[in-house]
């Protein structure tokens, strides 16, 4: 298992991170524990969650994922774990948080309220990486950065990061932190996969120049790159099999991930993987972590056996011939996810 530093911080993590967003919904606690144990035994020390998990967001189970992760943490040495969680952004736009009666924002009140609740659910007195789950461009970055800095000064958080942020938002936040003399974002957690390479357009260069690490989520394109949706399949229990019928944001999201272009690109990536003698999941995971601006790739699972192909990417470096074949597909099928 490789290891990389998060931004310019003192924290070094495994280059594969275990995501937990299905724990408590698609995966019950016993299954979640087995997946977490499998990850830990494989050398993964980095675990990502959020106050708004599990998905799909629902007030009836919001926070359950942190509770499950917290109970599992008691079975390990706290020093051996790097724990990341997130505070919800505003709920009046694209995403509606299941926390605080959907009155969330990135002001001091919400940030302090959220971190105290997460610490309690996780059963720990500090969080290694605390992230804004999505940006609040209606709130001055001064207030957000000052509130997050307070948490670091109080010893409740070690470092901070953002998620689903824009290039403007990332560079603005760094500039504000420098002006105020506060802690700065060390990481950004955005969608990045073979089917969604938009991060490379601008954000990758911003990360390089500012010393911020990407910890990409959805390296399998929401599971699409596994091939399970090929041929119009809607496998039982799969995320987008259910999302397509939920309406609203969920249906829009499903159609963004599963569409004619994404399935066409996936078919070609599956052929590249077969030629290289590996599973499509292994190819997608290895490709994600093989970028200079990436510190750790966040993976997810709802069954323990799904970890096999993911962990096959451990210490795997794709050859130039494979990378050239991948790039050819990316050029011929531009932006499969729009």
What gap in Å lies between CA 162 and CA 180, rounded to an integer?
A: 18
Nearest to 144, CA basis, from 106, 192, 99, 176: 106
Total Cβ atoms within 10 A of residue 47: 25
The phi, psi pair for 27, rounded to 5°, reads -120, 125
SS3 state at 126: coil
Residue 86 pairs with which residues in a beta bridge? 131
What gap in Å lies between CA 117 and CA 302, rounded to an integer?
A: 25
What gap in Å lies between CA 250 and CA 241, rounded to an integer?
A: 11
Active site residue 185: no
Helix H or strand E encompassing 337: none
Collect all residues with Cβ–Cβ distance below 8 Å to 284 and sequence separation of at least 6. 193, 194, 219, 220, 221, 225, 226, 269
Question: Do 144 and 114 form a contact (C-beta atoms < 8 A)?
Answer: no
Q: Dihedral sign, CA of 116, 149, 187, 165?
A: positive
Give 83's DSSP letter: E
Task: Provide the pairing of β-strand 185-189 with 82-87.
Answer: unpaired
What gap in Å lies between CA 81 and CA 13, rounded to an integer?
A: 9
Nearest to 118, CA basis, from 133, 107, 134, 103: 133
Q: First and final CA of the chain: distance in angstroms?
A: 33
Question: Do 72 and 36 form a contact (C-beta atoms < 8 A)?
Answer: yes
Considering the candidates 53, 141, 185, 217, report the single residue annotated as catalytic: 53
Annotate 119-130 with DSSP letters as a single string.
HHHHT-S-EEEE
Q: Mind telling me the catalytic residues?
A: 53
């Amino acid at each position: 298992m490789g290891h990389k530093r998060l931004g310019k911080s003192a924290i070094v993590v495994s280059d594969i991170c275990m995501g937990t967003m299905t724990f408590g919904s698609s995966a019950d606690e016993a299954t979640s524990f087995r997946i977490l144990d499998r990850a830990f035994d494989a050398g993964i020390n980095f675990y990502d969650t959020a106050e708004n998990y599990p998905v799909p967001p629902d007030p009836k189970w919001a926070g359950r994922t942190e509770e499950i992760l917290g109970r599992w943490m008691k079975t390990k040495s706290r020093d051996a774990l790097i724990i990341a969680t997130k505070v919800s952004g505003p709920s009046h736009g694209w995403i509606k948080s299941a926390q605080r009666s959907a009155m969330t924002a990135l002001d001091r009140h919400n940030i302090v309220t959220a971190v105290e609740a997460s610490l309690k659910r996780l059963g720990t007195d500090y969080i290694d990486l605390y992230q804004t789950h999505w940006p609040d461009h209606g709130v001055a970055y001064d207030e957000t950065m000052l509130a997050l800095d307070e948490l670091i000064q109080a010893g409740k958080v070690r470092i901070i990061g953002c998620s689903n942020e824009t290039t403007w938002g990332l560079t603005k936040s760094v500039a504000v932190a420098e002006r105020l003399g506060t802690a700065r974002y060390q990481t950004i957690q955005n969608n990045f996969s073979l089917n969604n390479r938009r991060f490379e357009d601008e954000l990758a260069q911003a990360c390089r120049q500012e010393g911020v690490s990407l910890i990409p989520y959805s390296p399998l394109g929401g599971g699409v790159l596994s091939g399970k949706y090929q041929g119009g399949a809607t496998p039982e229990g799969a995320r987008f099999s259910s999302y397509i019928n939920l309406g609203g944001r969920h249906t829009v999201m499903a159609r963004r991930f599963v569409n004619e272009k994404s399935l066409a690109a996936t078919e070609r990536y599956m052929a590249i993987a077969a030629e290289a003698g590996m599973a499509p999941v292994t190819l997608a995971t290895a490709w994600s972590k093989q970028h200079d601006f990436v510190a750790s790739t966040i993976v997810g699972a709802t069954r323990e056996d799904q970890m096999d192909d993911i962990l096959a990417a451990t210490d795997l470096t794709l050859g130039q011939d494979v990378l050239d074949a991948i790039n050819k597909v990316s050029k011929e099928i531009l932006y499969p996810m729009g």
